[in-house]
Structure 1
Amino acid sequence: MTVPHRRGFETQREEVTSVELPVEGELPAWLTGTYVGNGPGQFEVGDRTLGHWFDPLAMVRGLDIGDGVTYTNRFVRSHDFVFARERGRVRTQFPGTAPDRPVWTRLRQALTGEFPDNPVIGVARIDGELAAITESPVALTLDPDTLETTGRTDLTTDLDADLTLGHPHYDPWRECLVNLGVSYGRATTYTLFRRDGPATAPTATVAFDDAPYVHSFALTERYAVLPAMPFGLDPRKLLLGAITRRTFVESFERFDRPGEFVVVDRETGAVATRNRVDPLFVYHHVNAFRDGDDLVVDLVGYRNQRAVTDLTLANLRGESPSVPRGDLQRYRLPLDGGRATGETLRAGHMEFPVVDYPRVLGRQYDHVYVAEADGESALPTRLARVTVPDGEAVTWREPGTFPGEPIFVRAPDGADAEGVVLSVVLDGENDGSSLIVLDAATMTERARAPLPHRLPYGFHGQFYAADDPVRSMA
């Protein structure tokens, strides 16, 4: 018997274009635009099953919402995808899967920093074009209507960086993208930069003796906050892995030092403070804002590096997968450099925090949307609107289903609602998926549109309103 949650970790090879979906319920008349998501599509290459949740070949999925809902999905035609489909082999070092290449090729890739271009994390508008992104030096551009891959964009232009993060911010104050570039060498360097059209301008550089892994960062009008925690890569082991076939995940470890938040002053380019903190691992930040003499940073925090190393497909496909618990946490960072203090706002297995972005970015706010487990599963089984800082929640849940990232869409002024939350929900028992539309205040269902096939669990997406091209989340 198939365990329902496993369906989210199974390949979907079918691609469709502009399929009109049946709609149950009533879509708000003001809801017009396109939701574009990204995530795994194919979990095998040749006769190999890929090793880690971050390895599968990327599939973008688009839902155009207006009078109805039209659905399109496409694999991203990266170099990694083409190599896998044509040769049945893994081209580059995926996070949990070694490449199927001769040892001299693997050594060349390690020494020259040839990273995967399989863009499986999310999407963004870069230089006016829709693009699929990951932790890579390139983005793959997409046709906004068909989602076909149209080209490649160099994300490291004018930067001393090997790659960039898969979670760029949109800066509403300066109307540009802000991201971090990473350079590996004797020291690991993170470069904060802004991208305004094709022009890239570094604004600050932070160096580390070790190689901390940073997946995302927090942003305010004045500051950027890097979670420089003692979890990351041993570059020597990774380089040796070119011979031994040791992977990124197998080279991921805990360092013998405290954790710290590095606060960068965006106006001067200087490090404003380094606030020590008990070690924690961070994938996603919620928000950050100034509160008196402190900088407040909200995030989903984990205890250690198991947040990365436990996400193997062998584990996740098990009957009772061991998924590390992420809590909604708040940290206060004294701007005089004192030690950071933290508290848990809401405990439990939760992820994919989304706020009213970028409206509340860098400002005090009162709620966040998350996907969380309800105790019967370590994987998300409900969506929650969580008030902060008290941690109380209003939730949506449907037995037997597994919701994905909640995307908030604000209603225009004068509408009959605050907004809606969009999510693609997996029905593992019936091998199907649906787009659901929830009232953002009450978390009650307003409409749903069943898809023509099941989609694997996705990672991140954006909603682009028809009259507003600004992204809906970090």
Structure 2
Amino acid sequence: MTVPHRCGFETQREEVTSERLPVEGDLPAWLTGRYVGNGPGQFEVGSRTLGHWFDPLAMVRGFAIDDGVTYTNRFVRSRDYEFARERGQVRTQFPGTAPDRPVWTRVRQALTGVFPDNPVIGVARIDGALAAITESPVALTLDPQTLETTGRIDLTAGLDADLTLGHPHYDPWRECLVNLGISYGRETTYTLFRRDGESVAPTATVDFDDAPYVHSFALTERYAVLPAMPFGLDPTALLVGAITGTTFVDVFERFDRPGEFVVVDRETGEVAARNRVDPLFVYHHANAFPDDDDLVVDLVGYRDQRAVTDLTLANLRSEHPTIPRGDLQRYRLPLDGGRATGETVREGHMEFPVVDYPARLGESYDRCYVAEADGPSALPTRLARVSVPDGEAVTWHEPGTFPGEPIFVRAPEDADAEGVVLSVVLDAETDGSFLLVLDATTMDELVRAPLPHRLPYGFHGQFYATDDPVRSMA
């Protein structure tokens, strides 16, 4: 039996340089810039199939949009990539795949903090350069036109940290990047820091007795909110795994404690509140904003750690993958430290919440965009503009297709439109992909530009307008 979604988890080795795409429909005249996305490209190394969705070798994909669309895609030439291509082996411990290295090499890597440099999560402008990023101590810089890998940036320079998150924020109030550095030891320390050019300044630290996994965080002008939930790593078991071949996913567990949101005051560097909450797992936040004496935080929440451990390629490629349900949820955090209260804004298998960023970052807002499942599929089959907080939605859907992350692009004030939504869509029926452009208000299709090949499901991207280098999402 053909499993339509499976082709999104299959390798694409072809690289294309500056190919003009056919365009079906009319591009808005104001839409000019570059949309660059990131995600898996190759799911095997040598004779091994990689174990987890976060393991494949990174492939960036770019779309230059002016009076047409020009497409380029390239593998990121990381050390992990070069090792895999030259030796047919895994160099470092990927989240779900142990390295093909002698045991003494694996132990040395674990003791000295050698992390993968395969940047498969997203892209960001760092120190003025376009870079591919992941949860790593390094970012790999890219030529914005050709997407060739041009260099490396040490993201932990100036920090007491082992690695940083793959979801840095752009702070529009201070015009800098804000991110978290992570240090593992007897305690796990998260360091909030700002990066302004090559200047790095730690602003706050938060310590934990265990090692909670934080994939992203929420940001307002004054506060940063860390979802310190009882799901994460057993560092001792991971160190022992250097000998036994245990991976990050194997030692990802639930801790015996409540969940909490940790609110950090960015002005004082102090913890302003620790708001207990029933445990939930969080990958991505939509937004956060102050409301009287509370902070409101919107996110996609899962019940438990299966949001990580179930994303094995064996499961995802199966006929009926068991993917946990993520709901769009709203939490209210009292700044006096009281218990957080939550409500579900919209139910369903959904991910990649995107707002009008950074214009509405840290402010009350009325809608976000998500990719969500429609019907029996647990993988996204439609794009939705969701009204918040009532959860009503306007959607785009086409049978046999699987859309990726929606990217909102605001129109200029003199345009007769609110903006557009961009997404790379997998067409399982044709074994192809296309760039989709939707009206951001009605979710009606404006344009599609078919690619010369199929792209695997991607993770995150950014749109950089020609006249505005500020990115489009966290």
What is the TM-score with the length of structure 2 in the denominator?
Answer: 1.00
1:252 corresponds to which residue?
Answer: 252
Residue number in structure 2 paired with 1:83? 83
Q: Does 1:218 align with 2:218?
A: yes
User: Which residue of 2 is the match for residue 334 of structure 1?
Assistant: 334
Aligned partner of 1:374 in structure 2 is: 374
Spell out, residue by residue over 1:22-75, the C-alpha distance to the aligned partner (whole angstroms, 9 max, x if none).
Answer: 000110000000000000000000000000000000000000000100000000
* Structure 1 residue matching 2:221: 3-state secondary structure: coil
2:303 matched residue in structure 1:
303
Give the equivalent residue in structure 1 for 2:323: 323
How do 1:229-240 residues align onto structure 2 when only pairs under 5 Å count? 229-240=229-240
Give the equivalent residue in structure 2 for 1:358: 358
Deviations 1:218-251 (A, max 9, x none): 0000000000000000001100000110000001
Tell me what 1:286 maps to: 286
* CA distance in structure 2 between the partners assigned to 1:385 and 1:198 by the alignment: 37
| In structure 2, C-alpha distance between the alignment counterparts of 1:424 and 1:362, rounded to whole Å | 27
Which contiguous aligned blocks of 4+ residues in structure 1 show a shift greater than 2 angstroms? none
Give the secondary-structure state (helix, strand or coil) at the position aligned to 1:415.
coil
Residue 148 of structure 2 is matched in structure 1 by 148
Q: CA deviation at 1:368?
A: 0.2
Letter in 1 for 2:384: A
The Cα shift of 1:2 comes to: 2.8
Name the CA distance, whole Å, in 2 between partners of 1:360 and 1:436. 24
For residues 16 and 336 of structure 2, what CA distance do their matches in structure 1 show? 55
Quote the residue 2:104 is aligned against.
104
Deviation at 1:414, TM superposition (A): 1.4
What is the CA distance between 1:428 and its match in structure 2?
1.1
Cα distance in 2 for partners of 1:257, 1:114 equals 30
Unpaired segments ≥5 residues, structure 1: none
Matched with 1:276 is 276
Equivalent residue runs for 1:376-455 within 5 Å: 376-455=376-455
CA distance in 2, matches of 1:439, 1:463: 16
Aligned match of 1:186: 186
- Residue 69 of structure 2 aligns to which amino acid in structure 1? V
Provide the residue aligned with 1:201 in structure 2.
201
Alpha-carbon separation, structure 1, partners of 2:435 and 2:125: 23
Q: In structure 2, what is the Cα distance between the partners aligned to 1:263 and 1:467?
A: 35
Matched, 1:12 2:12: yes
Secondary structure, in 3 states, of the residue corresponding to 1:225?
Answer: strand
Distance 1:105 1:342 in 2: 46
Give the TM-score normalised by structure 1.
Answer: 1.00
What SS does the aligned partner of 2:6 have? helix
Give the Cα separation in 1 of the matches to 2:328 and 2:415: 31
Cα displacement string for residues 79-112 of structure 1 (whole angstroms, at most 9, x for unaligned residues): 0000000000000000000000000000000001
How far apart are residue 186 of structure 1 and its match? 0.4
Which amino acid counterpart does residue 426 of structure 1 have in structure 2? Answer: L
Q: CA deviation at 1:430?
A: 1.0
Q: Please tell me whether residue 24 in structure 1 is matched to residue 21 in structure 2.
A: no
| Alignment partner, residue 130 of structure 1 | 130
1:159 corresponds to: 159
Distance 2:2 2:195 in 1: 46
Q: What RMSD, in angstroms, separates the aligned Cα atoms of the two structures?
A: 0.4
Specify the code of the residue in structure 2 equivalent to 1:331.
Y
Identity of aligned residues (%): 86
Aligned to 1:119: 119
* Residue aligned with 2:106, SS: helix
Residue 92 (structure 1) aligned with residue 92 (structure 2): yes
CA deviations over 1:137-193 (Å, ceiling 9, x no partner): 000000000000000000011100000000000000000000000000000000000
**Alignment length (residue pairs):** 474
Q: Give how far 1:376 is off.
A: 2.2
Give distance in 1, aligned partners of 2:112 and 2:277. Answer: 35
In the TM superposition, residue 416 of structure 1 has moved relative to its aligned partner by 1.4
Measured in 1, the distance between the counterparts of 2:442 and 2:189 equals: 44
For residue 321 of structure 1, what is the amino acid of its counterpart?
P
Q: Distance in 2 between matches of 1:167 and 1:226?
A: 12
Amino acid at match of 1:279: P
* Counterpart residue identity of residue 395, structure 1: T
Counterparts of 1:355 and 1:442, CA distance in 2:
16
Name the CA distance, whole Å, in 2 between partners of 1:402 and 1:328: 19
Matching residue of 1:46: 46
Structure 2 unaligned blocks of 5 or more:
none
Which whole-Å CA distance do the structure 2 matches of 1:249 and 1:309 have between them? 6
Task: Report the 3-state secondary structure (helix = DSSP H, G, I; strand = E; otherwise coil) of the residue aligned with 1:18.
Answer: strand
Counterpart of 1:307, as a letter, is: A
